[in-house]
Amino acid sequence: MTLSNFLENNMIAHSIKILLITCFTLGMMTALTSFKYPARKILTLFGFYLVWVFMSSWVIISIFGYFFFTKVMLFTISLPAIALAYKMDCNSPAQSVFNYATQVGFSLIFAMTVLLLNTLLHGNQFTYFLLLIAVYSIVIYLEYRYLRKPFLNLTRTVHIGWGSLSLIPICFCALIELIGNVPFYYIREPIRVVYIYGLLVLMIIVYFVVYQSILRQYQLQMVSHEKELLMLQVSSMEKQAKNILTSEERLKILRHDIRHFSIIMNTCLKDGAMEDAKHLLSGLEDALLKSETPHYCQNYIINSVLTYYLDAAKNEGIQVQADFTAPPKDTIDSTSFSVVLANALDNALVACRNESIERCIKLKSRMNGSQYLMEIANTCSTDIVFDEDGLPISQKGIEHGIGTKSILSFARQTHSSVIFRQEHGQFILQMITNTSLCNQS
């Protein structure tokens, strides 16, 4: 199958070629996709899709010829593949279109490259298929090995601007289709090969610029997020200070009134008015409770964050269970840890706000030898989807990804293990920090 004999009417060769290229293009899409369905369902859906590809392509080529098929395959093969993969993808629509349209564009160029290589090597149909398998296998491996994690990390953390960015690969696909098929197939006019590879160079340059732009946007989002968290810490500490001042004012009033209370209590006891004495003691106990400042741990910064979020949860009717021990100051930075705690509690509070059933946030932590253990659980009746790294996937809002990245960043810096899971109607975050490793960092 070379440029000289490509026009031969070989239905079997064309059918195998179409199926292979379609399968490998799906492989390229899958390499950069995090799916929300189990593997069996994904393979079943892809199987039905490949049957459609084979049957529709066979009918079109039989009736109208191969070169007519090349003009409509974008609609009969590429668009259904994008729609199918999008249905199973965890990303937003714009992110999915950006990914899949990019893969389709590069796949078209790879398919043309294989045909040119086979011609250069004076190969036949057998060598053509071997080259096709080799080239696409290498591409899929490289994408999965080196591009998957960076791309998925960007899609999880950067959620703004993908709509306009998705127009880039769509335009490139349209240009490739135009150069390669209009008004006739590119092999009839070899100069078009130069245009196609010029377009490939342009695509690489544009995608490099896009990546740098997205990376800068992500960095700006992280800076903005950290700034908001620091402002939150300041706000929570200000609130804690106001609570302390209010408690001190109440204690001053109590100390001022305690002499009058003593006189009245002695009078009640002398007169045998026990009910009045009990009522007076009950009022004093209530006044003392109101004057108490919420206290969850000895660390002032961390206690301020706990007070801010747990008081907010209580005020919204959410049950709070807290048995908290602050991490040792000499091994774990209180400010960094409070950022993690703020992220986790904010996620828990937001999740509980979306629940109509009885809501609860449970927080517990302790030292176990050299390990600091913390667990935060909140009510969550909605099924959470986790990626292959065990990270929760959400399509709600732009802060979720940044918050998770902040927690994972702290985990890397402190050599901590972070586990997310869902069980018995609860979403659970567990973190284990080896304080001895923190000292070595």
For the cut 90, the answer to whether the pLDDT of residue 346 exceeds it is: no
- Cβ(13)–Cβ(6) under 8 Å? no
Say which residues have a Cβ less than 8 Å from residue 352's Cβ, sequence separation at least 6: 313, 316, 318, 359, 360, 361, 378, 379
Which is higher by pLDDT, 396 or 96?
Answer: 96
Q: Say which CATH topology domain 296-441 has.
A: Heat Shock Protein 90 (3.30.565)
| Tokens describing residue 359 | 């809501």
For the cut 90, the answer to whether the pLDDT of residue 376 exceeds it is: yes
- 373 DSSP β-pair partners: 366, 432
Calpha distance 260→405 (Å, rounded): 58
As to burial, measured by CB atoms within 10 angstroms (0-12 exposed, 13-18 middle, 19+ buried), residue 334 is: middle
Calpha distance 114→133 (Å, rounded): 10
Domain extents in the chain: 11-189, 296-441
Say which residues have a Cβ less than 8 Å from residue 362's Cβ, sequence separation at least 6: 321, 322, 375, 376, 377, 378
Looking at residue 409, what is its pLDDT? 76
- The interaxial angle of helices 93-120 and 79-88, nearest 10 deg, is 130
Say which residues have a Cβ less than 8 Å from residue 84's Cβ, sequence separation at least 6: 45, 46, 49
Number of Cβ within 10 Å of residue 108's Cβ equals: 24
Which is higher by pLDDT, 437 or 290?
Answer: 437
pTM, 2 dp: 0.58
Calculate mean pLDDT across residues 282-309.
Answer: 70
Looking at residue 363, what is its pLDDT? 95
**Residue 250 Cα distances to 244, 281, 418, angstroms:** 10, 17, 43
Looking at residue 255, what is its pLDDT? 64
pLDDT tens digits along 311-323: 889 989 999 999 9
- Window from 44-58, 73-87, 259-273 with minimum mean pLDDT: 259-273
| pLDDT band with cut points at 50, 70 and 90 for residue 399 | very low
Which is higher by pLDDT, 373 or 243?
Answer: 373
- Window from 34-43, 121-130, 135-144 with minimum mean pLDDT: 34-43
Number of Cβ within 10 Å of residue 117's Cβ equals: 16
Calpha distance 57→258 (Å, rounded): 93
Say which residues have a Cβ less than 8 Å from residue 21's Cβ, sequence separation at least 6: 107, 111, 132, 136
Which is higher by pLDDT, 398 or 47?
Answer: 47
Calpha distance 427→422 (Å, rounded): 5
Counting DSSP H helices and E strands in the chain, the numbers are: 15, 7
- Cβ(386)–Cβ(420) under 8 Å? yes
Place of tokens 């998705």: 166
- 376 DSSP β-pair partners: 363, 429
The closest alpha carbon to 412, from 429, 394, 433, belongs to 433
Average pLDDT score over the chain: 80
